[in-house]
A and B are shown apart, each in its own frame.
Chain A
Amino acid sequence: MPLASYQTSVPVVVDDAKCIADKGCTVCVDVCPLDVLRISDMTNKAYMAYDECWYCMPCEADCPTGAVTVNIPYLLR
């Protein structure tokens, strides 16, 4: 069975201008309980790779530059 990808608007948004992942920071990726954040190969900035969010906030609370914003997932907004 072939697989198709499924469109979803992800709750965690990263401001590339503030994100310092390209300087080696991985704080948000490290703390996420669901392990859904990654550093992009293309931009070298953090982004939400998997829409499996508990909207719990460590990524936003622990980000040293205030680059991460957690939104409520659309389905329960």
Chain B
Amino acid sequence: MALDQIVDGLSEVSCDVLVIGGGTAGPMAALKAKLKNPKANVVLLEKANVKRSGAISMGMDGLNNAVIPGYATPEQYTKEITIANDGIVDQKAVYKYAQNCYKIIEELDSFGIRFLKNENGDYAVKKVHHIGTYVLPMPNGETVKKALYRQLRRARILISNRYMATRLLKSSDGRIAGAISVNTRTAEILVIKAKAVILCMGAAGRLGLPTSGYMFGTYENAANSGDGYAMAYHAGAALANLECYQINPLIKDYNGPACAYVAGPFGAFTANNEGSRFIECDYWSGQMMLEFYNELLSGKGPVFLQLKHLHPDTISEIESTLHKVERPTRGLFQQGRGVDYRNESIEMHISEIGFCSGHSASGVFVDDNARTTVPGLYAAGDMASVPHNYMLGAFTNGSVAGIDAMEFADNHDFAEFDAADVATERDRVLAPTRREDGIPPNQVEYKTRRLVNDYLQPPKVTRKYELGMRRLAETRQDMQEHMIARNAHELLRALEVQSIMDCADMAVHASLYREESRWGLYHWRTDFPEKDNENWFCHTLLSKQNGKMTSEKRAVEPYVVPIADDEKDLYDKQRIRATA
């Protein structure tokens, strides 16, 4: 039978721990869960193929937040992230990450993943952040996925590729019971009963529309359509600080990193059209992005990553990393435009908006054990709320989630779910396939994301948000009543659009709730232009309560690492001062 032809089918399997998403956090969570209890069944479910899925599909050019003894301390890192994230941090989870991540680096090293070392055999850590030194290059970073995959096979993890999870199942007392998924090539439904579920489904990276107009030309792997955020929401889990958007400085049009983390330590820097530096520090914070945005609009733009002043050998070294790892088509792109880093700077621009705690702080709320607010449900990686956690955070927190989830599974039996929930979800999933006529998913998606750009991109204007909400509601109605999928592949896209729409609604709701400006460009509200610590020094939690989207405040946990008053605003002083 031809691929993509819709097949009617429903089957059910069960396992102890179900990990959804086989990118970065997911494989580590599955591995650690299995090693914790080798007799248990661990299923790793993936929408694409674990061999090449997720943000690190082609590897990664470096660790951006390595806390390595001799270079940085967990206390220093925790302080840095707290300040970079404007103080809204539950430090316990960040501190735990900072304590555990060195062990994970050594483990990755033992898997055969290579990190840059100096002539003495020590890790060659570089400085990019404002205060500390945490960036460890990975010149052979293209091996990451292969090395992980080997470990998964060795541990006998059950891998199910090309299944997209669509909704979580819960018992009447609110405990996690499993998930419903759909085969992306046949549309057959698979129900997976599980004692514990770990969501590792990546960023909501297909929320805004790239300025190139190419829908899949996103900063994030375009497969990361925010399905995890939508699933957590519909399961009643709380989502934290969604108004703290992800917006990144990228190569204009290509939409991949330029990348200052790689080139900065060699002497490259972000410059305006006059060739001058205008930001103190290239680390991606909302405050830095605001200065970037201001520079673009000031008449002093475009903004460039400048490296032509460097020695040709140094440029070759930077080039070989940028063009081989993470986004290797960077080289092809520059070649096509005739850009040679030796005589031309790299034009940069700002990315579309998204949710991603990997670089900002918008994620499903988790505590320091990666537990969400739903018993038995965990989250890790870009979609979980531990801020600025990058790839190493996904590995480290994935490990925490895997161990804790297996402990939970060892102490609980399967929770019972209502069979009617499966029937309802099956109808929802297959609805676009049962229409004879209608609007194709790509048009619904384009319109939704165009509205996100028009109305939701910062600066956030209340009136624009209200209009955006109305337009999105109209498009949602079209989506629910008229979207058509003629084969299983179109159904995959149709389901992704529904995640994107849910994320757009959450972005509006969360942004309107926080009546202040914070995190630089990420949450710049023109109607509330000041930071208001008196009323808003808190997390915001968004959740579905009685079927309705609801937001509430949650106090920031007392700090583990104190921040002195004169340190609190270090990241607010990003603009280079004109005089000494």
Given A54-B221, A55-B329: A31 in contact with B51 (beta carbons within 8 A) = yes
Distance to closest chain B CB from A71 (angstroms): 7
A56-B217 in contact (CB<8A):
no
Assess whether A35 is in contact with B184, with CB atoms less than 8 Å apart: yes
Separation of A50 and B486 alpha carbons in the complex (Å): 13
Option from B58, B336, B493 in Cβ contact (under 8 Å) with A58: B58
Tell me the bound Cα distance from A70 to B51 in angstroms.
19
- Which A1-39 residues have C-beta < 8 A from chain B? 1, 3, 30-35, 38-39
| Interface size grouping (class) on chain A | 20 to 34
Within the complex, the shortest CB–CB distance from A75 to chain B, in Å, comes to: 4
Determine if A57 and B2 form an interchain contact, defined as CB atoms under 8 angstroms apart: no
Main secondary structure of the interface of B (DSSP, over half): loop
* Contact indicator per residue, chain A 45-65, by CB within 8 Å of chain B (1) or not (0): 000011011111110011000
Tell whether, in the assembled complex, residue A52 and residue B58 are in contact, meaning their CB atoms are under 8 Å apart: no
Within residues 216 to 248 of chain B, which ones have a CB less than 8 A from any CB in chain A? 216-218, 221-223
- The stretch of B113-121, B433-441, B453-461, B507-515 in contact with A is B433-441
User: Can you pick out 12 interface pairs between chain A and chain B where the beta carbons lie within 8 Å of each other?
Assistant: A33-B49, A39-B3, A54-B217, A56-B58, A56-B329, A57-B328, A58-B51, A62-B52, A70-B332, A72-B254, A73-B214, A76-B214
- Measured CB to CB, the closest approach of chain B to A66, in angstroms, equals 15
With an 8 Å Cβ cutoff, the count of chain B residues facing the other chain is 42
A31 touches B329 (CB 8 A): no
Shortest beta-carbon distance, A70 to chain B, in Å? Answer: 6
Q: Would A1 and B329 count as touching, CB distance under 8 A?
A: no
Is B575 positioned at the interface, with any CB of A under 8 Å from its CB? no
Cβ B222 vs Cβ A54 within 8 A = yes
Q: Quick check: is B449 within 8 A (CB to CB) of the other chain?
A: no
Q: Is the CB of B214 within 8 A of A1?
A: no
- Within 8 Å of chain A (Cβ to Cβ): is B215? yes
Q: Is the CB of A56 within 8 A of B57?
A: yes
User: Which residues does chain B contribute within 8 Å of A34, judged by CB atoms?
Assistant: 48, 216, 222-223
* Contact present for B48 and A35 (CB under 8 Å): yes
Q: A1-B437, A52-B222 are in contact. List 12 more A-B contacts (CB 8 A).
A: A3-B440, A32-B48, A33-B49, A34-B216, A34-B222, A35-B184, A54-B57, A54-B221, A58-B58, A72-B333, A75-B213, A76-B254
Given A1-B437, A1-B439, A41-B2, check contact A58 B52 (CB 8 Å).
Answer: yes
Q: How far is the CA of A75 from the CA of B253 in the complex (A)?
A: 9
The CA-CA distance from A12 to B470 in the complex, in Å, is 38
Query: Which chain B positions have C-beta within 8 A of A35?
Result: 48, 162, 184-185, 489, 492
B327 at the binding interface (Cβ < 8 Å): yes
Q: Find chain B residues with CB under 8 A from A50 CB.
A: 489
Q: Is the CB of A57 within 8 A of B58?
A: yes
Q: CB distance B3 to A30 under 8 Å?
A: no
Given the complex, which residues of A lie within 8 Å of B213, measured CB to CB? Answer: 75
Residues of A within 8 A of B328 (CB): 57, 61
Chain A residues near B215 (CB-CB < 8 A)? 52
Chain A residues with CB under 8 Å of B480's CB are none
Does chain A have a CB within 8 A of B181?
no
Give the Cβ gap from B567 to chain A, nearest Cβ, in Å. Answer: 40
Q: Provide the bound-state CA to CA distance between A49 and B221, in Å.
A: 19
**Residue among A3, A33, A41, A49 with max Cβ neighbours from chain B (10 Å):** A33
Which A residue's beta carbon lies closest to that of B251?
Answer: A76
Known contacts: A52-B216, A56-B221, A76-B214. The answer to whether A33 contacts B57 by CB under 8 A is: yes
CA distance A32 to B3 in the complex (A): 15
- Chain B, Cβ-Cβ closest to A53: B216
Known interface pairs A53-B216, A62-B52; A33-B332 also in contact (CB < 8 Å): no
